[in-house]
Amino acid sequence: MIKSKQEELTYLSSYFSKKLKRHFGKGPETCFSTVKDNLMLVHVRNFLTPAEEVLLESNEIHLASTFRSVIIKKIIADFIDEVERVYGITFDSYHEDWNYDSNTGAIMLVNEVSSQHPTAIKDEGTMDQLLGEQVRKASSDIHREPDQLFVKKLSRSIYVVECKGTLLPIETRLFQKGYSDILIESFRDIRTAFEKKKPMFEDVFGQSVDELFLFWDYKKNKSYITFFLK
């Protein structure tokens, strides 16, 4: 029986959710996946284990994040194989962002060699152009204005802005020397600062931004800002 793409995505979301439950002892309340071109997003809600709760209550955020990332790495390896088997798409890298305050998270799979690429911002006055302007302004205020911006609409309620050339020279050196702990601490502060600027993005979308996730690719000096609209 031939399955529709939506049925395949529903299966993959269920597969990922079951993998989380198997490895963590607890699965998320909800899990859904979205695919377009060279990107796949997996979004989960209410996924916090008792052990992680204890670590967070003890203000051991870095330890909780490390614990989760180690297990997620194993799950993603299996998940990527299953996505290729079911959906026929190969992904060669992934990024994760977990918001412990809202108990939500997202994982982005990327096909770096795909010929499909987000659309460069060209047309004046379009929403893509206005969104790009606000991302540039927010990035400049918070951290660093990116060298290039590309916008991709994954669905009616999900937008991704790919930012190239986002690292400061000191961050590049820290990454090259293996000081990931410092970069992760900085990453959390930057994500929090972007969340505080939701109103400026909501003005562009004309609706509320439910969640904002930030994925950082230190190796390739770029980041992805993902907006989930209500």
> What is the full DSSP assignment across 146-187?
-SEEEEEEEETTEEEEEEES---HHHHHHHHTT-HHHHHHHH
The pLDDT value recorded for residue 125 is 58
What is the mean pLDDT for each group of 10 consecutive residues in the chain (230 residues)?
A: 78 95 92 92 94 91 89 94 89 92 94 60 70 94 94 94 93 87 85 94 95 93 94
Task: Please check whether residue 150 is in contact with residue 117, taking contact to mean a CB–CB distance below 8 angstroms.
Answer: yes
The pLDDT value recorded for residue 114 is 61
User: How crowded is residue 33: how many other Cβ atoms within 10 Å of its Cβ?
Assistant: 22
Rounded to 10 degrees, the C-alpha dihedral 85/88/93/98 comes to: -80
CA dihedral for 16, 18, 23, 25, sign (positive or negative): positive
Residues 49, 38: Cα–Cα separation, whole Å: 31
CATH of 5-110, one of 3.30.980, 3.40.50, 3.40.1350, 2.60.40: 3.30.980
The pLDDT value recorded for residue 115 is 43
At 7, give phi and psi (nearest 5°): -65, -40
Q: Could you confirm whether domain 119-229 is CATH 3.30.980?
A: yes
The pLDDT value recorded for residue 5 is 83
Q: Containing H/E element for 31?
A: strand 30-36
Residues 33, 10: Cα–Cα separation, whole Å: 7
Complete edge-to-edge strand list for the sheet that includes strand 148-155: 119-120, 148-155, 158-164, 222-229, 209-217
Phi-psi map region of 126: left, alpha, beta (phi>0 left; psi -120 to 50 alpha): beta
Q: Containing H/E element for 86?
A: helix 61-87
Residues 50, 78: Cα–Cα separation, whole Å: 25
Task: Please check whether residue 62 is in contact with residue 185, taking contact to mean a CB–CB distance below 8 angstroms.
Answer: yes
Complete edge-to-edge strand list for the sheet that includes strand 30-36: 30-36, 39-45, 104-110, 93-99
Residue given tokens 């590309």 in the structure block: 150
Residues 129, 111: Cα–Cα separation, whole Å: 25
- Which regions of the chain carry the CATH code 3.30.980? 5-110, 119-229
Q: What's the start-to-end Cα distance of the chain, in Å?
A: 34
Question: What's the whole-model pTM score?
Answer: 0.90
CA distances from 44 to 107, 196, 218 (A): 9, 22, 24
